[in-house]
Amino acid sequence: MDELLTTKQAASLFAKSEKTIGRYVDSFSKHFSDPAKQLDGSQRRLNADDLRVLSLIHLMKAQGKTYALIGEALEKGERAEPPIHSQLTTPKSYGRELALETRIHTLETELERLRTFETKAALLAEQNAALLTEIRKLEREIGALLAKRD
């Protein structure tokens, strides 16, 4: 995509206000192009790389991530895919698609978290079974010692 988008167009794509897009650019300015930063006082213009940065910010904000975590991800070079050219003419459909992608990512993250808990639960169940076996063995030994004492 060679064309530059205005803040208004980007806001429409991400279903955010122009002010929010401006705040994202200002907050993470070192990851945006000069035209996006509005250095000369003109209107912001966002290129494809800027949209990748915005896509990641939008995705991570939708997941409840903090600006600090978003900044760390951007520093690592993480980006999210921006809308394809055909979607630029239908920002509402992109907004819906982005919302669905965000939801999928959130669900995948939650699934991974649950799988981790499931693994931990299985390990705890094995440890519990081993401990119960050990307790029964100790109870038998106590019973034998008590029987000898009597």
Domain count, the chain: 1
Token code pair at residue 59: 């995705």
What is the distance between the alpha carbons of residues 83 and 51, in angstroms, rounded to a whole number? Answer: 8
Q: Which domain holds residue 18?
A: 5-119
> What pLDDT was estimated at residue 95?
60
Percent of the chain with pLDDT over 90: 53
Query: Any idea which of 22-26, 42-46, 87-91 has the lowest mean pLDDT?
Result: 87-91
- Taking the model in full, what pTM does it have? 0.56
Asked if residue 70 is part of any domain, the answer here is: yes
pLDDT in tens, 62-80: 889 999 999 999 999 999 8
pLDDT, mean over the chain: 85
Q: Is residue 53 part of a domain?
A: yes
The pLDDT of residue 102 is 74
Asked if the structure places residue 111 within a domain, the reply is: yes
pLDDT digits (tens, 9 = 90+) for 89-135: 444 555 667 677 777 878 888 888 899 999 999 999 999 999 999 99
Query: Could you tell me if residue 127 is inside a domain?
Result: no
CATH value at residue 95:
1.10.1660
Question: Does the CA dihedral 64-39-51-92 come out positive or negative?
Answer: positive
In a domain, 140, yes or no: no
Q: Is residue 131 part of a domain?
A: no
In a domain, 36, yes or no: yes
Distance, CA of 11 to CA of 143 (rounded, Å): 75
Please check whether residue 112 lies inside any domain of the structure: yes
